[in-house]
Amino acid sequence: RNFITYLVENDFASEIRVVDKVLLITAALNPKQREAFSKVEVWQKDLVDREDGSSYDYVFNLAAETKYSQIEKVYEERVYTLSVRNAEEAARRNVKVYVEVSTAEIYQSDKVSNLFEYLGVKALAKIDLYDKNPSKEDDKAKPWTINDKHMGPWTTFIRDSKKIKNTPLTPYVDKELLCNNPLSVDGTKITVETGFQYEVPEVTDEKLVEMIEDFKVIGWWPKEPEEYV
């Protein structure tokens, strides 16, 4: 949604086709995104032929399974197999540029290799975070009540708003988020080789607030009582 909005607002393409498994009418879009999607072609299916048999100059694959705690087969089918199939199809059609967009969570970084080094608490990497029966010696070290502490207040927060019917936002922490896995990648290569410059090079409080305000607009985050009109 953000990528399509960016392309449309900057008039970067003469024709855009969006292919997604989700019906557009069920997608949670803010007003700016809805305006952008009204100007492009949207298909609910996989990569398909053009009626005239021609191809596209650029194909961007942003489709992947990003939910945590799924079985390995789900990731194999919805990430690996999907990406390989689309890349092969793009090659068969002689697409000039095929871009695979990734969350980058599987790659290493020379700067920050994992969450625990980032936080300066490497010892947590060896903790069984889902042990519900910790011994007295280590119960203070194991954050085994983290979801219990957060899910209750969040559920109450959503229920009391009386306006949120459904939201994908949750404070639930899946175990993958607390494993000793890579956290980030070095994103400087694209700036050196192409001249690309990041508009948002780092996370700021202002950008986080901006995201929350956007969640309010599309109905994922409760508004303050005075904001409902």
Rg (alpha carbons) of the chain, rounded to whole number: 21
Classify residue 66: in a domain, yes or no.
no
Q: Which residues on neighbouring strands pair with residue 97, listed in sequence order?
A: 58
Classify residue 124: in a domain, yes or no.
yes
Classify residue 2: in a domain, yes or no.
no
Classify residue 94: in a domain, yes or no.
no
The per-residue pLDDT string of the chain (229 residues; one tens digit each, 9 = 90 and over) reads 889 999 999 999 999 988 887 778 888 888 999 999 999 999 887 544 555 566 788 888 888 777 888 888 888 888 888 888 888 888 888 888 888 887 766 555 455 555 445 444 444 444 444 444 555 545 444 445 778 888 888 888 888 887 888 888 988 888 777 766 666 667 788 788 778 888 888 889 999 999 999 999 988 998 876 665 5
Q: How far apart are CA 223 and CA 216, in angstroms?
A: 6
Classify residue 65: in a domain, yes or no.
no
Classify residue 118: in a domain, yes or no.
yes
Q: How many domains does the chain contain in total? A: 1
Counting every residue written for the chain, the total comes to 229
User: How is residue 43 written in tokens?
Assistant: 């298909």
Range of the domain at 149: 108-229
Classify residue 40: in a domain, yes or no.
no
